[in-house]
Amino acid sequence: MTTDHVPNPLLAIADTFRYDAIEATHVVPAVTTVLAEATAAIERLQTDPSANTWSSFVEPFEAATEQVSHIWSAVSHLSAVSDTPPLRAAYNICLPKITEFWTALSQNEALFDRYRAIEASADFASLTQVRQRVIVNALRDFRLGGAELPPVEKARLAAIEDELAMLSQSFSEHVLDATNAFVLDLADAAALDGLPDDALAAAKSRAETAGVSGYRVTLHMPSYLAVMQFAKDRSLRETVYAAYSKRASEFGSPDQDNGPLITRILALRAKAATLLEYDDYASLSMVPKMADSPADVLRFLEELRVRARPFGMRDRDELQGFAQQHLGLDHLEAWDITFASERLREHRYAFSQQEVKEYFPETKVLQGLFRVVSRLFAVEALQRVGDDAPSLWHPDVKFFDLVDASGNLVAQFYLDLYARVGKRSGAWMASARSRALRADGSCRTPIAYLTCNFSEPLRDASGQVVREALFTHSEVNTLFHEFGHGLHHMLTRVDESAVTGIRGVEWDAVELPSQFLENFCWEWDVVEHMTAQIDTGAPIPRALFDRMLAAKNFQAGLQTLRQLEFAIFDMQLHSRFDPRDGRSVLDLLNEVRKSVAVFEVPSYNRQPNQFSHIFAGGYAAGYYSYKWAEVLSADAYAQFEEDGVLNPTTGARFLEEILGVGGSRPAIESFVSFRGREPGLEALLRHNGMVDTA
């Protein structure tokens, strides 16, 4: 397929795409082509009576769909990191086609019957454990997709899935558009009194880039957080907080209001659960997860709430007392909390986030991260530059090879670190390509997208970098977190694509490697080697690190309660909420806050309208997984604390038992194989400082 007689780069056969050559006009022709090819291949398979074994049916079936996943992954990624009106239009033309393709496959009785026949055959027992799990998972997914429903109900479920896909995309677009829409231009630096020099320089650079004088504040996280942490002007903080918390709601542009979308999404999810004979969407969501039921999850969250709330209340009381005594704030409003917290941290531990940030330049941080990965897992990250690098979607993006001790290629990854207009907020890892065996017996190595939204380097008026990016320690944690996901994807040793890397891993266990890797950001032997003061090059002083470590669990009670608020709200929303009772989504959230939160939020706060995790990001009835998996990750890391945090033998075991096996066996089996026992809650509570020492 070509566009204007130019070969379509999305259809080129190569290890990596030519991202600089991909245009919006390439998307629809490429997706149309691969869908037609996959559909034809599957039709041949399901009518071939001899296609009834692993090699004659499962392998060619997965191969037929792989190119669809490969191309759509690239299109979805570009949509998330380089959004433009033409690309968005092309994406939204293709999204229903992609959704319909996968929905039709999941409801295809002929394919379902082939998988059932393989499971029932005498040959099933001779398959490897990995291949048996692929078959069992496929059968589960056919049932969840509606393969056993009557034709009329299949059509209803398919229509629901199509609409849900479009609604989720619209939800995400509305948040992005509302974030991009807000700018606040200030004439002079006095209005931003309190901001660190680098944040002030970034605000000036944003204004210069936009062709305006003065300083520009936006709702992108580096700008927003700098104002909330450091701006002394309380009214400025209130203005920026209000704009941020009202995004994608009835307070803004009507065509960006996510309120009606939330109502419709919840109704459709409930209908899907009913069609599949589940009590609610949360119960449906539990089927492929570790947790057995919504009730089990809510009991787990309640246990954590009971343990955490006294610590959260103590944090609140300390912050209020400090604000009254030192900041002249008799009553803390929502826009004061981050500012007051930063002042209390500085007062109590004698350091500021800005002071710490000057020790974490990007180059040194990456070297430190790669050192940890090398020590534990015996692989090296080598950046490809110049003509040796593949084409990229933005000049700031980097590309790396991951090689073993013999120099053999293990995996590759793209690293896109900085926030910018047109890029979805947050941080994430996504698969550009999964590991698999090729027909000739060679290994197709995995490729990962690693995406963050950190502050960019300081640039001059011409756009040249005059100082490399500096990261907060929180951003360093985020980088390690996403790289943990990346390692799960890239270091897999499983060759069956359906369960390689993070594929097939229970959703509430997928955060284990990511949260596990964060722990190394708090080890002196790691931090010492990934710090260099931006002016002197000196590593961070041990005394400063010790103060950071003392502050590690600063306000851990408040932070835990915030996560629990989101998790409980999400689970109740998808299991116990019924709008026919006269309650709104906000009513439910406010009820949850009464038992969880210790600070009030303004009535205009519309957090659900921006909750992309559960309305656009795959975490519906699954936000609890961050805490669920943190139990596993904290307990797994305790093994490294016992053996030595950079112990290569323990790292090799973690690679073999957890990272390497991907989704080829239940996550609890992988954990027990590594730890030698079932997980416990104690390590999590200890790591969060929520253990009474009196």
- pLDDT score at 682: 85
Q: What is the pLDDT of residues 259-318, one digit of tens each?
A: 999 999 999 999 999 999 999 999 999 999 999 999 999 999 999 999 999 999 999 999
- pLDDT score at 694: 46
CB 438 within 8 A of CB 68: no
Q: What is the pLDDT of residues 419-437, one digit of tens each?
A: 999 999 999 999 999 999 8
The domains of the chain, with CATH numbers, are 2-106+108-148 (1.20.1050.40), 182-247 (no CATH), 362-550 (1.10.1370.40)
Beta bridge partners of 7: 2
- pLDDT score at 532: 98
User: Cα(147)–Cα(141) distance, rounded to whole angstroms?
Assistant: 9
* DSSP annotation string for 8-39: -TTS--SSS--GGG--HHHHHHHHHHHHHHHH
What are the backbone dihedrals phi and psi of residue 447, each rounded to the nearest 5 degrees, phi first?
Answer: -130, 135
Beta bridge partners of 444: 436
Q: What is the pLDDT of residues 221-264, one digit of tens each?
A: 999 999 999 999 999 999 999 999 999 999 999 999 999 999 99
Q: Which helix (H) or strand (E) holds 436?
A: strand 436-437
Q: pTM for the whole thing?
A: 0.94
CB 270 within 8 A of CB 260: no
Name the residue with tokens 């997860």. 289
C-alpha distances in angstroms, 535 versus 213, 369, 475?
29, 21, 20
- pLDDT score at 546: 96
- pLDDT score at 440: 82
Q: What residues act catalytically? A: 482
Which residues, 6+ apart, have CB-to-CB distance to 523 below 8 Å?
Answer: 645, 646
Name the residue with tokens 């009474």. 692
* Residues with pLDDT less than 70, the chain: 1-5, 692-694
CB 645 within 8 A of CB 651: no
Q: How far is CA 372 from the centre of its chain?
A: 22
How many residues does the structure list for the chain? Answer: 694
* DSSP annotation string for 546-604: HHHHHTTTTTHHHHHHHHHHHHHHHHHHTTT--GGGT--HHHHHHHHHHHH-SS---TT
- Which sign does the torsion angle of CA 384, 484, 502, 144 carry? negative
- pLDDT score at 680: 86
Which residues, 6+ apart, have CB-to-CB distance to 440 below 8 Å?
Answer: none
